[in-house]
Structure 1
Amino acid sequence: MAANTQKVTYTEEVLAEEISQTELYARAKGWSATSHASTHAVLQPEKKQAGVLVARAKMLLTMVGPGGLVEQPIWYTIIVRVQQGRYRYWLTDYQLARAGKLLPLESQLAPTLPQQERQANETRFMPVSLHSKAVIIGLQAAMRKPVARPKKADPLAPYKVGFPGAGSPQR
């Protein structure tokens, strides 16, 4: 838990030297689009000028309930802020549904709960940490890869036929 907010939060600032803010933003947005299958992320209104990407995401945890195995959805927020040569991410605001309400994950880990219940919840919610770390690994990998851009057609290609070293194979 973050000391200043008392919320479960994963955050890190990562140096990405010599990469522009525009390129980092494009990489983060590309990651968001391709990671939807694992994060169920829904992009919030863009703040491209500020270099901030915000998405609300969901993970499904399989847990043992009174009637057997149940899928427990956990919602969370992913924030990526990009600047020239660096970016910072946050995974925070974890919430779970209980009795038709969204409750902060921290309410299930509060020191005010009986110790046995708190320890059981810590074990039960361990997959949140594993899933979050997998999301972070995917984000960091995407931020290292340049955005694929379509290659521009060579306007001189039709005129290069038959000239050695100008596009045609040499014999």
Structure 2
Amino acid sequence: MKRLILLLLALLPLFSFAQSTPPRDESGKIVYSEVVPVEGLSQQELYSRARAWFATTFNSANDVIQMDSKEEGTIIGNGITDLDIGNSKQKVHFTLSLQFKDGRYKYEITNIAYQGNYNPSIPGADRKVSAEEFYSSPNVYKKNGEMRPTYKVYYDAGNTSTTRLINSFKSALSATVSKGDGW
């Protein structure tokens, strides 16, 4: 009996990881957030790297960045990325907030909304829908609470896109710079 309980406890993280629901904060809002330690980097260096990341990641960093305070160590931007799901072209709108302190930074991705022509035969089908509204629809889930396969495709594509974005700025902010490169 003890072994069975220990086995179940050991496997619990695998069951929770396999869930198909986006992360939510205490108010129910979908939020991807983390404090990331980066040893040896100042607030100023992290801020500069983030500005460079915005400039190389988006077509126009000036159009994306809505708030930029070097003194406070904060950058907030509203971005759009594409999701390719079969024949369907979708856009994902989001707000990315970055806050910097010596040796660490915090990111939050919020205000996620999907836009695309889900059904070309329905007028207005390409309206922008918040992620909270999308995932709160009873049509998304089966009676047993499991996400329907059609919606799971959208969830997986959105989650992959968000993870790719997170990994991109994490890589840019934590990259080591060689001082002996002659520049």
TM-score normalised over the length of structure 1: 0.72
Give the C-alpha shift of residue 124 in structure 1: 2.0
Quick check: which has more Rg, 1 or 2?
Answer: 1
CA distance in 1, matches of 2:147, 2:154: 10
Letter in 2 for 1:128: G
Aligned residues with identical type, % of pairs: 22
Contact 1:18 1:85 (8 Å CA) reproduced:
yes
Equivalent in the alignment of 1:102: 128
Give the C-alpha shift of residue 147 in structure 1: 7.0
Which ranges in structure 1 are unaligned for 5 or more consecutive residues?
153-171
Equivalent in the alignment of 1:161: none
More helix by share: 2
1:91 equivalent in alignment to 2:113:
no
Equivalent in the alignment of 1:61: 83
1:76 equivalent in alignment to 2:106:
no
Give the C-alpha shift of residue 17 in structure 1: 2.2
Alignment of 1:103-118 (within 5 A): 103-110=129-136, 112-113=138-139, 115-116=141-142
Letter in 2 for 1:105: A
Match of 1:22 among 27, 39, 44: 44
Give the C-alpha shift of residue 27 in structure 1: 0.8
Change (3 A) 1:134 1:114: closer
Alignment of 1:1-171 (within 5 A): 1-36=23-58, 42-63=64-85, 69-97=87-115, 99=124, 101-110=127-136, 112-113=138-139, 115-116=141-142, 119=148, 120-145=150-175
CA distance in 1, matches of 2:140, 2:65: 38
Which region of structure 1 is more displaced relative to structure 2, 138-147 or 73-82?
A: 138-147
Give the C-alpha shift of residue 118 in structure 1: 5.1
TM-score normalised over the length of structure 2: 0.68
Change (3 A) 1:147 1:90: farther
After superposition, give the CA deviation of every residue in 1:128-162 in whole Å (9 maximum; x if it has no partner). 1101111111111111236799x78xxxxxxxxxx
